[in-house]
């Protein structure tokens, strides 16, 4: 778990056994290798010193959250408590035996559910904008897992009338149907879906969902080649957008974009990542033949 510096290794990774693609390169110790959606390469703060985030495995949801806490990826009670409320095992339906492994998992339609450590990182980046009563949007909602966590954070149980709303938007209809089934069988999340505090919709996330905005927080679960203007336009004053930006198949920057009181945008690049692209439905489904 300790990070060592100044050493180099040659790494050979089989990316696709069926098409015999190989990738070779030199990686410095202290950086992670990213092969699928939702892996981080470089991390800030103590998490990188104390342990590799992708070692935050669990045997069940509670032990997964505890591992993320132990590696100081989860730092706040609000995020940890929300993650405890949403059992990841109910949303990893293609390979439930690996639901609590800290790695991306396939969910069908050439899509994945991100690694738990990436969800935790992003939630920590958004936590001050996911308060009870807030409105938030999850672009590329996939399995519905992260959207459900966001819904618990903004719902607040209706205390003081502060009941927010989390909307997930996904362009693959079969994934949206699956995400709704996931939420319905989740006993702690089903009431949010029934009440409308959690909404899972079919749509092109690159365009956002203007009718539900403006949003206090927008999360994007795929890499945009450039920041989608529609999403920044749908940010409320003081709102935050968390989005990976970069080209498909390359390392990208996880960006935090805040809308200031004067309407201007402030952007910070917080870590290097590799996500699947924020693309058209046809482009994504074409990837099925390679998987």
Is 114 labeled as catalytic in the residue annotation? yes
Q: Given 40, 53, 56, 114, which residue is catalytic?
A: 114
Task: Provide the greatest CA pair distance for the chain.
Answer: 58
Beta strands per DSSP E along the chain: 8-16, 21-28, 39-40, 105-108, 111-113, 135-139, 165-170, 198-202, 215-220, 235-245, 252-259, 265-274
Of 147, 287, 276, 172, the closest CA to residue 224 belongs to 276
Structural tokens at position 59: 């045997």
- What one-character DSSP code corresponds to residue 88? G
* Under 8 Å between Cβ of 242 and 218: yes
Q: In whole angstroms, give the CA distance from residue 93 to residue 79.
A: 23
Active site residues: 114
């Amino acid at each position: 778990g300790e990070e060592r510096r100044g050493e180099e290794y040659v790494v050979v990774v089989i990316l696709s056994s069926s098409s015999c693609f190989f990738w070779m390169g030199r990686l410095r110790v202290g950086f992670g290798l990213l092969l699928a959606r939702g892996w981080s390469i470089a991390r800030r703060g103590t998490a990188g010193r104390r342990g590799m985030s992708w070692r935050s495995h669990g045997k069940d949801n509670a032990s997964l959250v505890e591992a993320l806490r132990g590696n100081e990826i989860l730092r706040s009670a609000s995020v940890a408590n929300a993650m405890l409320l949403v059992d990841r095992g109910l949303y990893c339906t293609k390979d439930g035996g690996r639901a609590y492994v800290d790695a991306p998992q396939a969910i069908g339609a050439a899509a994945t559910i991100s690694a738990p450590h990436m969800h935790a990182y992003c939630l920590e980046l958004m936590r001050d904008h996911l308060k009870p009563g807030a409105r938030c949007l999850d672009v590329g909602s996939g399995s519905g897992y992260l959207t459900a966590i966001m819904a618990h954070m903004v719902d607040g149980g209706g205390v003081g009338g502060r009941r927010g709303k989390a909307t997930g938007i996904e362009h693959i209809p079969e994934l949206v149907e699956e995400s709704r089934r996931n939420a319905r069988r989740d006993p702690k999340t089903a009431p949010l879906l029934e009440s409308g505090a959690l909404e899972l919709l079919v749509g092109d996330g690159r365009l956002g969902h203007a009718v539900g905005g403006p949003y206090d927080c927008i999360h994007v679960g795929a890499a945009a080649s450039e920041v989608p203007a529609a999403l920044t336009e749908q940010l409320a004053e003081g709102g935050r957008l968390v989005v990976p930006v970069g080209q498909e198949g390359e390392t990208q920057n996880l960006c935090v974009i805040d809308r200031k009181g004067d309407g201007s945008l402030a952007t910070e690049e917080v870590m290097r990542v590799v996500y699947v692209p924020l693309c058209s439905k046809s482009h994504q489904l074409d990837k099925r033949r390679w998987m």
